[in-house]
Amino acid sequence: MPYLLENTQLRTVHSILCQKRNAALRNTRLIMLEHILPTTAEYVAHLKNSGVEIFALLAKPYSIDSATAQELSNKGTEPIGITYAQLETTAFLDDLLKRAIDASKKDGKSILILDVGGYFAEPLKTGRLPVEGPQFIHGVVEDTTFGHNRYVRAVTEIPVPVFSVARSALKEIEGRFVGRDAVSAVEHVLRGSGVSISGRNGLVIGYGMIGSNVARALRNQDLVVHVYDREDFKNLRAFMDGFNVHKKRELMKRADIIFAATAEPRGSLQNRP
């Protein structure tokens, strides 16, 4: 059943999709890699109401709200559960792209990809992507800084347009909520074990859009907050914002809780001082 405007949390999405200039979306085949959170079901509903075909909805590992996943399934869009190993070390995404391209050969629909983490960067490279792929894949949109960096490294080998919103004004606003929610989630888990985070030493590695907001949220929870970033100017910014800065090896010794907000590949910071 279509969502009514007065019942929607995603008013901007609803408004944009109703614009006449976006009527072409009715001829779109969409591949989504998304967090399966409460607003995702409504987001998918708005897209489908606009005539978009959801070819595949890939559920970001460890980011799945079970009630939302069930709601999506009940409404005809079942999230596909995947692992990081499938995303990074198998031909899972290659096969998915091939199936989408084969479908578009038959009906001429344009393929769009919504990515969260840069997981399509490798499968979209020339040599892995089917030769006819660029004819049907009209673009990929990346939502995260981590994914943005992966596409930057690969973009010269990708024969389709890549759009990143990771540096947009809206992402800066979103960063405030992400920082707060990250701290809230950790506090919830620890409280379940009888542990309070207040008064402890918190370490934030990375003082960018997300890290700076995590640090502020930790301070609001009465932690002693330390910050490390590989960029000296960001350490200076953190210091001027009232946080403790030092070499990472020294901060690690005293940290009770550590948040990594680096947008770097996993393990890339382990050997840095």
State how far the Cα of 111 lies from the Cα of 108, in Å rounded to an integer. 9
The residue with tokens 């008013």 is 11
- Going from N- to C-terminal start, the domains of the chain cover 5-167, 175-260
Assigned fold of 175-260: Rossmann fold (3.40.50)
Structural Rg of the chain based on CA atoms: 21
Q: pLDDT of the chain along its 273 residues, tens only? A: 444 444 566 666 666 666 666 666 788 999 999 999 888 988 898 888 888 999 999 999 888 889 999 999 999 999 999 999 999 999 999 999 999 999 999 999 999 999 999 999 999 999 999 999 999 999 999 988 889 999 999 999 999 999 998 877 777 777 777 888 888 888 888 888 888 899 999 999 999 888 999 999 999 999 999 999 999 999 999 999 999 999 999 999 989 999 998 866 544 444 444
CA 121 from chain centre, in angstroms, equals 14
Contacts of 194 (CB under 8 A, 6+ apart): none
> Comparing C-alpha atoms, which of 112, 110, 123, 129 is closest to residue 151?
123
Q: How many CA atoms lie within 13 A of 64 on its CB side?
A: 19
Per-position DSSP letters for 179-202, written without gaps between them: HHHHHHHHHHHHHHTT---TTSEE
Q: How many CA atoms lie within 13 A of 202 on its CB side?
A: 28
Q: Per the structure block, which two tokens stand in for 88?
A: 């990074």
Assigned fold of 5-167: Rossmann fold (3.40.50)
Determine the Cα angle at 3 with ends 181 and 60, to 5°: 40
On the question of a common fold for 5-167 and 175-260, the answer reads yes
In the sheet where 201-205 sits, what is the strand order?
A: 244-245, 224-228, 201-205, 257-260
Give, for 259, the enclosing helix (H) or strand (E): strand 257-260
Calculated CA dihedral for residues 43, 121, 105, 30, nearest 10 degrees: 0
- Side chain identity at residue 163, one-letter code: F
pTM (global) more than 0.75: no
Calculated CA dihedral for residues 65, 66, 67, 69, nearest 10 degrees: 90
